[in-house]
Amino acid sequence: MYHKEKPQFPKNFLWGASSAAWQVEGATNEDGRGVSLIDLNSQKKKPFADNSIASDHYHHYKEDVALMKECGFTSYRFSIAWPRIYPDDSGIPNKKGIEFYNNLINELVNNGIEPIVTLYHYDMPQWVDEKFDGWYGRGIIDAFDQYVRTCFKEFGDRVKYWLSINEQNMQIFYGHWLGTCKHPETWEKDQWKVNHIMNLCHAKAVIACHEMVKDGKIGPVPGMVPIYSQTGNPMDQIARLNAEEFTEKIWNDFYAHRKYSNFIKQYWKEHDIDPDIREGDQEIFNQAKIDFFGINCYRSNTAAEAKIDEPAQDYELNKYGIKGQLKFPVVPGVYKLVYNDYVQYTDWDWEIDPVAMRYVLRNMWDLYQLPMIITENGYGAHEDLDENGQINDIERINFLRDQIYQVGLAIQDGVEVLGYNPWSFTDLLSTGNGMAKRYGLVFINRTDDDLRDLARIKKASFYWYSKLIKSNGQDWGE
Ligand code: BGP
């Protein structure tokens, strides 16, 4: 729909940016932090990159928050590292870990920046894995409950916006890549047990937040990739729906309705899958009413019919940022994903599609009528300082401008959006590509191989974003 006026953003809109502990903090061996599986993964699995120093935010947090303030932030989304709070199975929280997050939160609040905190962003403590078999064993449910309750008790007086588990759908869907899957031979069935346990952890976090945090609000963070149909062929439309179900809708329906949909129950029945739902589980779900959705959205996908006799193809991610390496999946009889002629692609073959942002917000609003906070969105690129020691990241400015404009249009369409927090504030480790794929508004002077001086250098996008957010979305810099 065409709107005559330019978009207006609500007063008190939360303008900020986003990060995750294991990708930005570093200091993995300091102040009593325990080992996380992601540390081990990041050290040995290429092209992951060693996270022991990352952007060294642990030691630079004051400087980083000062830069956020200078930029005009009113929010900052980050995650708490579970192994910093509970490094081992003693049941005693690590005072130094709590102190670090207290310092960070105080620094934010004192600078007028609303903290938005993710409880779990991929950093599974090694002891939880060894003792309970990680997400595979129900023992994690109480351990996670203990951890989140400690967070609510220690930080809930100042943190009002909480996010439960980052991209649970992607942790299941990309289980092999993100480390959730331990036994590839049986993952097809195991994934639903693992997912059910994650659902219980999510639900208990929602319940505990409402019990313990005065005025606290909590929501999940699905990784959203809206799916278009390749053509008007009705079979492509069904393929589109299938792709959407298996990559995101199963999760979103569950969070919002607090029960499993007929679609997934039917699938389990047909494939002889037992997700191990036990007595009492549904009672827990019934109480876990979420307040909003965090939305991570970078791109769109396009689906077409995959005939039952088409050869299957696994998703092959583009690991090195050389265009054309990504292979889209073919799931015979269900759907296949295809390239879209109407959009451009990044070096990692991610669709550059601002309209997807409006589409996802509209669609989620229609389905669930819950407010949303954009918790991730951004442009990953190869970058280094130019001869003047600067980063003139015009592509990122164009990307953000177009995406934010579409957020504004969704608001004009009547969608309730509370904030925009792109990925990322400073450069940080990409999940799969270390410093080779940068997203920041602020450059971190290091590469994967050379630590240089870790200086913070504002990119052109920092100045552009600052003007836009200080004018509450009026000064587009055109
Ligand atoms: C999201 C994750 C983030 C971040 C981002 C960018 O799925 O929540 O942790 O890494 O994707 O992805 P990448 O770093 O692989 O480009």
* Cα dihedral value 176, 314, 374, 473, nearest 10: 140
Give the per-residue pLDDT at 46.
Answer: 67
Give the per-residue pLDDT at 295.
Answer: 98
With 70 as the cut, is the pLDDT of residue 238 above it? yes
Give the number of the atom of ligand 1 that is nearest the alpha carbon of residue 432: 15
Tell whether ligand 1 has an atom less than 6 A from the beta carbon of residue 296: yes
Give the per-residue pLDDT at 1.
Answer: 85
Give the per-residue pLDDT at 179.
Answer: 86
Tell whether ligand 1 has an atom less than 6 A from the beta carbon of residue 432: yes
Sign of the dihedral through C-alpha 234, 240, 245, 246: positive
Q: How much is the pTM?
A: 0.97
Which residues on adjacent β-strands are paired with residue 430? 434
Q: Are 425 and 440 in contact (CB under 8 A)?
A: yes
111 CB-near residues (< 8 Å, 6+ apart): 65, 66, 68, 69
Averaged pLDDT score across all residues of the chain: 96
| Chain center to CA of 211 | 25
Tell whether ligand 1 has an atom less than 6 A from the beta carbon of residue 297: no
pLDDT digits (tens, 9 = 90+) for 180-212: 999 999 999 999 999 999 999 999 999 999 999
Tell whether ligand 1 has an atom less than 6 A from the beta carbon of residue 329: no
Tell whether ligand 1 has an atom less than 6 A from the beta carbon of residue 437: yes
Over residues 91-115, mean pLDDT: 98
Task: Report the separation in Å between the CA atom of 380 and the middle of ligand 1, taken as the mean of its atom positions.
Answer: 9
User: Which residue CA neighbors atom 3 of ligand 1 most closely?
Assistant: 431
Give the per-residue pLDDT at 340.
Answer: 97
Task: Report the separation in Å between the CA atom of 205 and the middle of ligand 1, taken as the mean of its atom positions.
Answer: 23
63 counts as catalytic: no
Over residues 3-30, mean pLDDT: 96
Which among 395, 402, 359 is positioned nearest to 380, based on CA atoms? 395
Q: Which residue in 167, 245, 351, 383 is the catalytic one? A: 167
Cis peptide before 422 (omega within 30 of 0): no
Give the per-residue pLDDT at 25.
Answer: 98
- Residue 86 tokens, joined: 């509970």
279 counts as catalytic: no
- Residue 395 tokens, joined: 């592509």
Task: Give the class (CATH, top level) of 14-224+240-294+346-470.
Answer: alpha beta
Give the per-residue pLDDT at 478.
Answer: 67
User: Which residue CA neighbors atom 2 of ligand 1 most closely?
Assistant: 431
